[in-house]
């Protein structure tokens, strides 16, 4: 098993399969943990827990983008074979990561006097807000340190090894101990301590994995500040940071806006119906996540053969993301009410208007994901445009969300994301197409118009047949299957493409390189 993992350390397909298994296990247990925690904590405290997680993720933006910029720059230098330059870069990067971890941990704790009151975190049974934010500051520091090792593993293409430890620690053990502590009615900061322990263990494991695959990448010394190297890293990180800010606004601020206007009691209902969307989005974009390290090296390579491989894999990735997103939309619209009713109860069912907005969000986000991700690797100009586009549309999303919430329109909060993400997807898809020499209009038709039109058609059918009866669900399933086959044809999913993927997988599991 160890030999097989080493041989397939950088295999995109093995990593995708392992991530699917991990996410399958994590999804099942995640549903179980959610229900158990909701029962142990109650809606207000559960909503507080979810919103505090959102605040912590916003705090993770404090790395100013150097985690992802280090991954991009290290991957490019590895593709160019510039080991000497990379050693100098890493000496400065280690120093920057350590300084940021210490400073930002202290800053997060310093927010305690005013942030909990502003976000309505004062919920009975929550315990000390001071200790909760001390926990948050410590977790933030640990997260930044872990980002250094994770970015180097990712840049080197080690996408298979970290999956199983993360599943065991983060998806299974930490939530289990959280649930047990919640049953004991411990303060919230005590309940969250298992997640901090898991992060610290993953730091050690990530460092060990780096040493196994590429020993000198895992060196912890020297710690040296080189102004020129730091400047080059921060020049990239500024634009990456804008991408990170926009992305966090897209995915993390909805519940904060809703909780601040309507109270945290409504947050579990909103998040429960969005749960499947989160899982499907994460699962599908995993294909791009595990494939991007190789693409980053190919796009920086001077060899023409690598450029051809890049175009082939990029087109293949785009086709799979569009088709899988449409399939996920069908399943979500047809069966989400039934799923939430079985998983939780009828009280947590969301209106169909919310669910249609969530489905459109999935279609737009995943359909254009390949173009968005590749634009960040389309030279310095592409990265600058990506930073401005994602950050700008993220702020647009936040502004529209706040306006919708003030108007009492919760569905508008979700639709705000669809509007902003559509602008980002079309803009950055065009940048990618120009850089790779692909037709932009055809790209927009396949990666935006097709998923959006498909989602609106599926929503119209669900509106016409809204019941969760066997007759309505069966009729929807038949109609959706026919529409999905048309989408596969229009999206470019062919028999030859599927046969090629199956042959690749047979080669991996039969031991052939």
- Given a contact cutoff of 8 angstroms between Cβ atoms, the answer to whether 50 and 195 are in contact is no
Residue 492 falls in which region: left (phi positive, over 0), alpha (psi -120 to 50) or beta: left
* pLDDT at site 512: 47
Domain boundary among 191, 217, 252: 252
* pLDDT at site 270: 85
Kindly provide the b/e burial profile for residues 413-445, where b requires at least 16 CB atoms within 10 angstroms of the residue's own CB. Answer: bbbbbbebbbebbbbbbbbbbebbebeeeebbe
* pLDDT at site 419: 92
Helix, strand, or coil (residue 161): coil
- In 101-259 the beta strands, taken as DSSP E runs, fall at none
Distance CA 87, CA 458 (A): 53
pTM score above 0.85: no
Write the CB contacts of 469 (distance below 8 Å, at least 6 apart in sequence).
none
* pLDDT at site 330: 87
Q: Do 96 and 223 belong together in one domain?
A: yes
Q: Do 46 and 193 belong together in one domain?
A: yes
In the 8-state DSSP scheme, what is residue 448? I
Count of domains forming the chain:
2
Q: Do 109 and 58 belong together in one domain?
A: yes
The candidate with the shortest Cα–Cα distance to 330, out of 281, 363, 378, 293, is 363
Write the CB contacts of 392 (distance below 8 Å, at least 6 apart in sequence).
246
Q: Do 298 and 410 belong together in one domain?
A: yes
Record the tokens describing residue 21, joined without a space. 């298994």
Q: Do 153 and 260 belong together in one domain?
A: no
Q: Do 219 and 353 belong together in one domain?
A: no
Q: Do 246 and 292 belong together in one domain?
A: no
Q: Do 132 and 190 belong together in one domain?
A: yes
User: How much helix, strand and coil, in percent to the nearest 5, is found in the chain?
Assistant: 85, 0, 15
Length of the chain, in residues: 513
Distance CA 15, CA 28 (A): 20
Domain boundary among 252, 282, 307: 252
Distance CA 318, CA 443 (A): 9
Q: Do 81 and 181 belong together in one domain?
A: yes
The boundaries of the domain holding residue 360 are: 253-513
- Given a contact cutoff of 8 angstroms between Cβ atoms, the answer to whether 266 and 258 are in contact is yes
Distance CA 141, CA 186 (A): 24
Q: Do 281 and 241 belong together in one domain?
A: no
Burial class (CB in 10 A: 0-12, 13-18, 19+), 30: middle
Domain boundary among 230, 252, 274: 252
Distance CA 380, CA 89 (A): 18
First vs last Cα of the chain: how many Å apart? 16
Q: Do 248 and 360 belong together in one domain?
A: no
Give Cα separations from 488 to 433, 452, 477, 482 (angstroms): 22, 14, 16, 10
Record the tokens describing residue 9, joined without a space. 């350390």
The candidate with the shortest Cα–Cα distance to 126, out of 224, 42, 233, is 42
Distance CA 40, CA 185 (A): 8
CA angle 138, 139, 144 (to 5 degrees): 100
List per-residue pLDDT tens for the chain, 513 residues long. 666 666 666 666 666 677 767 767 777 787 788 888 888 887 777 777 777 777 776 665 656 667 777 777 777 777 677 777 778 888 888 888 888 888 888 887 777 777 777 666 767 777 777 788 888 888 888 888 888 888 887 777 776 777 778 888 888 898 899 998 988 888 888 888 898 899 899 888 888 877 777 777 777 877 777 667 666 666 666 666 677 666 667 666 777 788 778 877 788 888 888 888 888 887 787 766 666 667 777 777 777 787 788 888 888 888 888 888 888 898 888 888 888 888 787 888 888 889 999 999 999 989 888 888 888 877 778 878 888 888 888 889 889 999 998 888 988 988 998 999 999 999 999 999 988 888 999 989 998 999 999 899 888 888 888 877 777 778 888 888 888 888 888 877 777 777 766 666 565 555 544
Q: Do 283 and 205 belong together in one domain?
A: no
The candidate with the shortest Cα–Cα distance to 55, out of 66, 64, 47, 43, is 47
Write the CB contacts of 196 (distance below 8 Å, at least 6 apart in sequence).
135, 138, 139, 142
């Amino acid at each position: 098993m160890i030999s097989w993992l080493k041989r397939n350390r950088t295999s995109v397909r093995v990593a995708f399969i392992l991530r699917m298994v991990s996410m399958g296990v994590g999804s099942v247990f995640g549903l179980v943990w959610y229900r158990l925690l909701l029962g142990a904590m109650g809606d207000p405290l559960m909503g507080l827990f979810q919103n505090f997680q959102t605040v912590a993720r916003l705090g993770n933006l404090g790395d100013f983008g150097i985690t992802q910029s280090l991954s991009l720059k290290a991957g490019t230098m590895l593709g160019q074979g510039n080991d000497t330059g990379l050693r100098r870069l890493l000496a400065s990067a280690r120093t920057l990561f350590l300084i940021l971890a210490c400073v930002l941990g202290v800053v997060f704790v310093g927010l305690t006097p005013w942030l909990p009151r502003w976000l309505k975190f004062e919920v009975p049974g929550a315990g000390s807000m001071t200790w909760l934010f001390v926990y948050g500051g410590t977790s933030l520091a640990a997260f930044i340190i872990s980002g250094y090792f994770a970015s180097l593993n990712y840049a080197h293409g080690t996408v298979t090894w970290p999956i199983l430890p993360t599943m065991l620690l983060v998806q299974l053990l930490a939530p289990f101990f959280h649930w047990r502590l919640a049953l004991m009615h411990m303060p919230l900061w005590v309940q969250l301590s298992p997640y901090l322990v898991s992060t610290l263990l993953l730091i050690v494991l990530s460092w060990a994995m780096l040493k196994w695959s590429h020993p000198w990448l895992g060196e912890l010394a020297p710690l040296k500040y080189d102004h020129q190297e730091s400047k080059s890293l921060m020049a990239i990180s500024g634009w990456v940071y804008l991408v990170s800010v926009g992305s966090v606004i897209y995915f993390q601020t909805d519940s904060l806006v809703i909780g601040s206007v309507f109270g945290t009691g409504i947050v579990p209902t909103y998040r429960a119906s969005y749960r499947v969307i989160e899982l499907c989005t994460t699962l599908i974009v995993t294909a791009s996540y595990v494939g991007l390290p190789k693409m980053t090296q190919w796009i920086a390579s001077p060899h023409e053969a690598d450029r051809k491989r890049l175009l082939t894999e990029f087109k293949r990735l785009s086709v799979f993301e569009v088709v899988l997103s449409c399939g996920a939309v069908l399943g979500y619209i047809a069966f989400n009410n039934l799923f939430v009713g079985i998983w939780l109860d009828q009280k947590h069912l969301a209106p169909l208007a919310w669910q249609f907005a969530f489905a459109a969000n999935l279609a737009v986000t995943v359909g254009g994901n390949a173009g968005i991700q590749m634009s960040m690797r389309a030279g310095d100009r592409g990265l600058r445009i990506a930073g401005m586009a994602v950050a700008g549309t993220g702020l647009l999303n936040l502004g529209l969300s706040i306006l919708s919430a003030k108007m009492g329109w919760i569905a508008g909060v979700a639709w705000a994301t669809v509007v902003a993400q559509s602008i980002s997807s079309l803009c950055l898809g065009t940048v990618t197409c120009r850089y790779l020499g692909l037709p932009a209009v055809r790209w927009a038709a396949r990666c935006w118009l097709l998923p959006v039109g498909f989602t609106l058609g599926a929503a119209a059918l669900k509106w016409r047949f809204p019941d969760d009866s066997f007759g309505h669900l069966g009729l929807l399933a038949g109609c959706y299957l026919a529409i999905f086959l048309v989408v596969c044809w229009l999206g470019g999913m062919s028999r030859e493409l599927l046969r090629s993927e199956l042959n690749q997988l047979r080669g991996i599991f039969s031991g052939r390189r």
